[in-house]
Structure formats: C-alpha cells, structure tokens
Chain A
Amino acid sequence: MPLTDADLDHLADLARLELPAEDRAGLRRDLDRLLGYVALLQEVDVDGVVPMQRPMHLADVLRDDEAVRPVGSGDLEALAPATSEGRVVVPRTVDGSG
C-alpha cells in the first residue's frame, strides 16, 4: 500500500521535520521502496516461532542502588550549543509568555 500525502505529513510531524515541497515526491518514492523491502519479511511464515527481541542471550543484568558521580557528570554545558544559568536553551515549546 503506497504512502499517502497524509501519512507523509504525519511522519514529518512526529519527527518534528519541516518538508520542503520540492522534496516530497522524492521522499515518498524512497519511503515506499523502503517499506516495500520490509514488506518482503511479511511473506515469511513465522507461525510458532518465538519472537527474538534481542540478539544477546542475557537476562537479569542488574546493578546495586548506589549513587556515584559518573564520568562526564556535569559536563552538559560544554556539549550544549547554548545555555543560560546552567540550563540548555532550546526553541520555545509552549505558546504565550507563560
């Protein structure tokens, strides 16, 4: 089933991406081909196969509840493009002045 315009808008919205009009046709074509490739997997008969959720056969990996000062702690300011009084500056997420 090919991707509709509405699907593309919804995906762009979820990804918080602005799509230039001239890119839409190309993107739709690429996504359709990607999804078509993945759709091949749907043809495999997996009845009775337990889904493998992780490649590693590990279980019950736990750590004790100890607060430590991990390496890199407090270095966020150096990583952030802009900060203000220790907080990271980001585009405004709410409307209004509140």
Chain B
Amino acid sequence: MTLRAPSGPHGARRTPFESVIGLEVHLALKTRSKLFCGCSAETFGDAPNVHVCPVCLGLPGSLPVVNRAAVDLAATFALALGCRITPQTQFHRKHYFYPDAPKNYQISQFDRPVGEAGVVEIGGRRIGITRCHLEEDAGRLVHPPYADHSLVDLNRAGAPLLEMVSEPDIRSPEEARLFLEHLRAIAQSLGVSDAAPEQGKMRADVNVSVRLPGEPLGTKVEIKNLNSFKSVQAAITLEARRQVLLREAGAPVEQETRGWNEGGQKTYVLRTKEGSADYRYLADPDLPPLHLDEVAIARLRGAMRELPEAKRERYVALGVRAAEAELIVLDVPQATMFDALLEAAGAIEPRPTPHTLATWLTGEVAHARKGAEGTLAPEDIDATALVALIAAVEARTITLTSAKELLGDVLAGADPATLIEARGLRQIGDADALGAMVDGVLADHPEVAADVRENPKALNALVGRVMRASGGQARADAVRALLQERLRLDPDGG
C-alpha cells in the first residue's frame, strides 16, 4: 500500500514511499485496587493524592504484593490476542528519575512478560503482537501556567496497566485506527479495561518509519501523548509526510521521540531516545515469580466472554450484512444492545429479522444516540419496546415515517403501543379511506395531476401531497399504486 498524504496546504500528494507503523498501547486494567497495594484503582475525577499509601509512594519498609485480578485480566487479554502465555512470569524495576515516579523506578516486566507472539486479524490482514506485559501506572503532572513549578498527583501511581506492543505490521494511518478499534472492542468485551481514551484509560504511542517497498526498515520515530484514535491517525499521517519530505530532500531521519501537539496538529521533538541499558532493569527482589500453568490458562479460557470476532461471525450467520456486523461489534455497548434486541425479538410475532434489527440499530438508533450526545446509554434503552416499535413497522401497523417520529420517545422509555394509539398513528390500510384521500388530492390539484399525466416521473409530487394529507399514516407504496391506477399510468413508468 502506498502512502497517500492528506490534502492540506500543500495539496494531495502521492509518493512511492510506504509507512511502517508499530503501536504501543496502554490499557488501564479494570480492577478495584492498584497493582501492588490496596489503594483504589478507580480514581478518575477524585481529589489529588487521596489514593496513596506507603507501597505506591515507595516509602522505606513497604512491600508490594501482586493483585491476583490484574494478573488474570492481563493473561486473559494476552490469550485473546493469541499470545503464548509465559509459564513463569516476573517483574523488573525500570529506573528513571521523574516526579511522576515516586519510587524512582517503575515496576514493569522485562524478560518474561505475561504473553508473547500473538496476532490480531483485521480486515483480512494479520498484525503481529510482540508482547503483552503488566506494569504500574505513573502519577499525573500538572503544569500551572506561568509558574516555576509543576504539581504532582499520585492517585494514579501504581494503578495496573497492560502494555501491548505490536510488530511493525501496520501500513496506513487508517489501519492503525482500525487496529485500535479492534483492541478496544476486545478489551471491553472481556471486561479487561474500559479502554476509554478520554479518561486516559487507553493511551497509544506510535512508531513510524517510511521506506520504499522492498527496502529494509527505515529509522523509526516514536510519537507520544496520543490520547484519541483521531490523534493517532492524524499524527501518523503528518509524521510519515514529514519523513517522506526529508527522504525526498536526501536528508536522514533522526531516531527520536516526538510529542503530539493536539491544538497545532503537529509533532515536536521531546527527547532523543534513551537506550534500554539506561533504565538499569533489575529483577524486583520484592516480587517473587508467578506461575501461569496449563490449569490457570484453562480456567481463564473457560471464563472468557465472547470475543468481537466470534460475535461478528454469529451475527453474519443470522443474516446480518458483514459491514453492519463489523460496525456493531466494534462498538461494544452497541453489540450488547443488539444481543438484547435479538432476545426481545424472540418473543414477538411477526418477528423482525436480525438484518432488520441491525439496520435499525446502526441507522436510526445510532443517529438518535449521536443526537443525544452521550446521554443515551445503551443499557438504559428498553430492548422490548424498541423491538415492538420495529415489529409494528414490519407488521404494517404503522409507517416507517411514524416509527421514526416515535423513536425518540421509545428510546426514552415510552411504550410504543400506547404512543401509536394516543397519537392515532395506526396506518391507513383501509382501501376506501385511502382512495378518498387520493381523490381529494387529485381534485384539489388538477394542474399537478395534468403535469403528471404528461410526465409520469413527476408522480412523487402527488405521492408527497397524499402522504401529507394522511399525516404520514398512509403507506407510500399503496398511495403510489392508487395514484397510478387513478391516472392510468404504466406502473413501471413512474
């Protein structure tokens, strides 16, 4: 795949260079307590420095003890990515001096990560997973404007993170984004992480290099501070373009770490890369090794919830179009809602097909949820009511137009049957009543009727008038048929 830089101030460009992308993703594991102590791990939005103790502050004499749930979640995620689980895993100290690391080292994993050598398949392409390891999060730094100091909040210090490193198998910014969407769906499906970038619970660093197809890997540049999928995509696009311009000018690409400036939509130099030796990795003497044997792996596999890929296959087997199935499973709350709709549909006659339900969910319902700007959580939606509304259209009790009109109220919890009666939306199925309406419109608009006789393609003008006269309760196809009959038009012509 060749790199296509986006159209911008310099216009769209095509180059023979391809981008080679690897991702490092940090997921905040969904545990109650931190990785090595009993402080709460759920601290988002709390007052600073209230979830700290001697262990996560690294005070002398304190002893870290591993959280069993964090190990289980990390191994479950690694298994879901097809990783080989390390039978004996262990923790290392990674040393660096920075105010967000109170111990002056971070407890991480080095030579024996929880999992290695996995693969994720997206859109028919296989993206290799180098490793999945456990580590503790750092604190949060705040930099007050115009001050000579920074401020440290250590609530997050010691919270459990899963770091996933991919092989440089990704070839475009779009693919990087799709890969992240898959990872998020897997993490959320398994209950491993909320994977919410906006809460810092999913953070990505990217490695980008460019080369001509067939060349060995080029010098890579790491970009940090990417806190949304959109930023990842934009940063890769711009960084690849920067490197292509350097290569075309005959200049070398320096190995370095760059930061992402969200406001300016550009990258800037952070620091030249420290080597692994600079971190002085040391097996943590306080933390004995952990064994993940066949029994433990079988237990985790047995408890594993359905993965997005399995869900997608199940939906397609039910007759849902592949593209819609993919759209549903990549949005885990939406997939949960879809399963609820399928279940609710089982109790209704005539039963709307999974295909119909999927079309509604990814179309009208998604649109309504977007309009509600996050206030319409899938778990708040009454699946039975929503299915009843969709079934009413299928049974031709109400028109599609009426159903769309009622959707907002049904999603807010109203009963569709009550609404249909209260608003008199029951579809006009009575041929005589509909005939009278059609005749009325033709009598009121003889000039339009004359036009349509000349030009049958203008029939829609009359259909629209009848629909309006019916208050949206007539069926458009029935109206069309009646008009064609009255005006003696060829049914295939208009």
Contacts and interface: CB of A to CB of B under 8 A. Distances in A.
Interface of A: 10, 14-16, 53-56, 58-74, 76-77, 79, 83-94, 97-98
Contact of B31 (A65, A70, A89): A65
Contacts of B285: 53-56
Given A62-B66, A64-B68, A88-B49, 5 more contacts: A73-B52, A89-B149, A90-B150, A92-B150, A93-B150
Interface of B: 31-33, 37-42, 47-55, 57, 59, 65-71, 90, 96-99, 141-143, 145-154, 274, 278, 283, 285, 287-291
Contacts of B71: 62
Given A64-B68, A65-B32, A66-B32, A73 B39 contact: yes
A77 B49 CA distance: 8
Contacts, number: 137
A88 B153 CA distance: 7
A98 to B, nearest CB: 6
Given A67-B40, A74-B50, A91 B150 contact: yes
A66 B38 contact: yes
B151 A61 contact: no
B286 to A, nearest CB: 9
Given A74-B49, A90-B149, A68 B38 contact: yes
A87 B33 contact: no
A88 B151 contact: yes
A85 B59 CA distance: 22
B151 A53 contact: no
Nearest to A74: B50
B39 A65 contact: no
Given A16-B97, A70-B55, A61 B288 contact: yes
26 contacts: A53-B90, A53-B289, A55-B285, A60-B289, A60-B290, A60-B291, A62-B65, A62-B68, A62-B71, A62-B290, A63-B67, A63-B68, A65-B31, A67-B32, A67-B39, A68-B38, A70-B37, A74-B52, A76-B154, A84-B151, A88-B49, A89-B150, A89-B151, A90-B99, A91-B148, A93-B143
Contact of A68 (B33, B47, B90, B274): B33
